[in-house]
Amino acid sequence: MAISSVDKYARQRSLEILRKKFASIAKRILEGKKPVLIMPKRVLSNTIYDMKKKLLLLGPEMKRRSLLDVNEARKFMQTLLMASIIYEALVNDEYPTIRDLYYRGKHTISYRDISGKLHHENTWDEQRESDAVIRDIEVFLGVLREEMLILSKEKGKVVGNLIIKSGDDVIDLSKMGHGAYAIEPTPDLIEFKDIDAEFVLVVEKDAVFQQLHRYGFWKKYKAILITSAGQPDRATRRFVRRLSEELKLPIYILTDADPYGWYIYSVFKIGSITLSYESERLATSNAKFIGVSMTDIFGEEEVAKNINKLASIFGKEIKKIISKHGKKAYLSEKERRNYIIKAKKKDVERAVELVGYDVADKLISNPEIKKYIRQKKLGVSGYPWFRTPEWIKEISIFFSKLAKLEIEAMASKGLKFLADTYIPAKIETGDWID
C-alpha cells in the first residue's frame, strides 16, 4: 500500500505521543500504584470566554479518572480501550472513521457478582458515548483526532486561486470545473503552495456557494470561496483558521438572517463549547459577519423604533449602536413581504439563548411570545459575545419583527445583485459585525 510521506510523519508522531502518555499508566501499575488518568474537565462549568483572545477556551479545572474509583472505572476502561484501538490502527497503517472506532470497541463483557449472578455490560451502547471518549483522548494527549488519522465524512468545500499539496499530490483549486475541492478530514496535512486571493468568503448554504461559484465570483473578486454546508465540521473550521493565521487573509462569513445562522458564525469565530479545548486551532477570532443582517433587511430605521428598549439595556451607550450612516435596507417593502419568513418559536428560543433571558425579556413585545418564553423558563445568561451593542441592535429587530430571511432571498433578487452589489458593498464599506 502506497502511503504518503505526510501521513507517515503524522502517524509516527501520534504513535510516539500515545506510547509516552500511556506508558506512564503502565509504569504506575508496575509500581503498585493506582492507575490514574489526569486531564482537563470537558464540562460547561470549566469552559470560559477569553475576552482578550475572543475565544471559548477550556478552563484550569482537572479531573482524575481512576480504575479503582467505582464512579470512574467504566470511563477509565473505555478510555484505555479506545486508545488501544487507535494505537493498533496507527501501527497497521489504517485510516479508521469515528464510526469504525465505535464498532471496533463495541462488545459485551460478561461477569459474575459476589453472589454468583451473571451480568452482561456493553463497553458502550451508542456512538455518542464512544465519540466522547475520543474527545477525552484528544484532551489527554493534546492531539486532534485528525492528527491521529481518524477520518470523518467530508462536508466543507472550497474553490479559488489556491494551489495545495495533499498527500503527495499538488492540486490547483482554480481548476475544479463546476465542482469544488472537498476539504479533507485532515486539514493540517495540507500544504499551501501558492495563492492569489485577497479575502475568504465562507457561505453557510451549499446552494448559494454553487451559484456564486458558477457565476465566477471568486475569479472576479479574487476570493477563496468556501461553504460549510450548514453547521461547520472540524475540518472546515481548521482550514479557515489556517487561511487566516498562515496566509493572513480576511475572513467574511455569510449566513441566513436567523439565530441559527448567527450561531454558525459564532462557531467559526469563537469556537464551540463541545470543542473548547481546541478553539485555539479551530476558531478564527478575526472572522467578520457580513450578513445577512436584520438591518440589511429592514434598515436602521427599525432600530430607532426600539430605542427605548435598547436604552433600558445600554443607557447612555445607546448612541454607539446607531450607525452614523443611517443605513438603508437592501430590500424594498414589497421584496420584504415576498422574501421574509415568519420566525418559529424554536427560532425565538435560540435567539434568547444567544443574548440571554434578561435582555430578551426587555426586547420582546409580542405578549404571546413573551408568555411562551416565560413559561419555558429560559433563564439562560446568554453568550458574552452576543451581548454587545451591535448584536443586540440586530437581534432587537428580530424580536420586534419575529421574521427571518435566507441567503437565497438575496439571490432571488438577482444573482448579479448578490454577487456584484450586496457582498462587495458590505466588504468595501466595512458593513460587518466583528
Pairing assessment for the beta strands 157-159 and 181-182 based on DSSP bridges: antiparallel
- Alpha-carbon distance of 58 to 5, in angstroms, equals 33
Closest by Cα among 73, 80, 121, 126 to 103: 126
Residue 330: active-site member: no
Residues in the chain: 434
Q: How far is CA 105 from CA 65, 110, 145, in A?
A: 19, 15, 16
Each residue of 190-213: b (16+ CB within 10 Å) or e? beeeebebeebbbbbbbebbbbbb
- Alpha-carbon distance of 422 to 372, in angstroms, equals 36
- Helical (H) or strand (E) element with 291: strand 288-291
Catalytic residue (choose from 49, 87, 103, 221): 103
Beta bridge partners of residue 37, listed in sequence order? 65
Q: Are 107 and 32 in contact (CB under 8 A)?
A: no
- Half-sphere exposure at residue 359, Cβ-oriented, CA atoms within 13 angstroms: 28
Neighbours of 368 (CB within 10 A): 10
Closest by Cα among 33, 103, 116 to 67: 33
- Half-sphere exposure at residue 410, Cβ-oriented, CA atoms within 13 angstroms: 31
Q: Which three cell numbers stand for residue 75?
A: 470511563
Residues near 307 by beta carbon (within 8 Å), at least 6 away in sequence: 318
Q: Any idea which residues carry the catalytic annotation?
A: 103
